[in-house]
């Protein structure tokens, strides 16, 4: 994701009514990643350091409340827990489902804790952080109704906001441990 694409992206977003402000500094990124125990995927980091989207629906990493940002980061697990409790959700790879709800939720917490952390982009769209690699898929995450919303970040911006793609269309998403099992 180069500066030409980033300029093109934010010009298109501006025409769609999406406001943005000065991008995050290296120090702001360091503080955010430390405070929330996350790492931004390199391609999302380039976007956020070029310009920071601040319209409704975007996490405001600079001025959002700590409680709000933590909630945003916790939503995927909250959704899994909801579906365990109310919709009998359980992955066979987790083994036999415990009898108690508390134990079931603890297994889910452990399993999601071993999986790549999902970083919010917009509303209920998330991108996983995987060892500093660009080109991870973007998921639409609504409880355990998780689907691909772009096989990479550029395709996501095309699908969500109609920003034309400058790069080639990706044939299939990069596999992501755990999350693909729910999509699957």
Q: What angle do CA 80, 82, 83 make, to 5 degrees?
A: 65
Residues 6+ apart with CB under 8 A from 182: 91, 144, 146
Handedness of CA 60, 61, 65, 70 (dihedral sign): positive
pTM: 0.94
Q: Please report which confidence band the pLDDT of residue 90 belongs to, taking 50, 70 and 90 as the band edges.
A: very high
Q: Please report which confidence band the pLDDT of residue 184 belongs to, taking 50, 70 and 90 as the band edges.
A: confident
Average pLDDT rounded to a whole number, residues 54-70? 95
Say whether pLDDT at 140 is over 80.
yes
Domain ranges of the chain: 3-183
| Integer Cα distance of 116 and 58 in angstroms | 21
Strand partners, 146: 141
Percent of the chain exceeding pLDDT 90 equals 95
Contact 113, 133 (CB under 8 A): no
């Amino acid at each position: 994701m180069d500066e030409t694409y980033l300029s093109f992206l934010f010009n298109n977003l501006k025409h769609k009514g999406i406001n943005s402000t000065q991008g995050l500094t290296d120090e702001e990124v360091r503080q955010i990643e430390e405070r929330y125990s996350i790492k931004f995927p390199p391609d999302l980091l380039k976007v956020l350091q070029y310009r920071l989207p601040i319209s409704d629906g975007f996490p405001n990493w600079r001025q959002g409340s700590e409680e709000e940002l933590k909630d945003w980061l916790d939503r995927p697990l909250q959704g899994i827990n909801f579906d365990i409790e109310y919709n009998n959700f359980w992955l066979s790879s987790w083994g036999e489902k415990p009898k108690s709800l508390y134990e079931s939720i603890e297994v889910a917490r452990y399993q999601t804790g071993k999986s790549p952390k999902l970083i919010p982009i917009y509303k209920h769209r998330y991108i996983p952080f995987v060892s500093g690699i660009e080109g991870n898929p973007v998921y639409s995450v609504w409880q355990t109704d998780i689907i691909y919303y772009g096989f990479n970040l550029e395709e996501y911006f095309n699908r969500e906001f109609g920003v034309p793609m400058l790069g080639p269309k990706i044939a299939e998403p990069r596999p992501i441990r755990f999350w693909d099992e729910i999509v699957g």
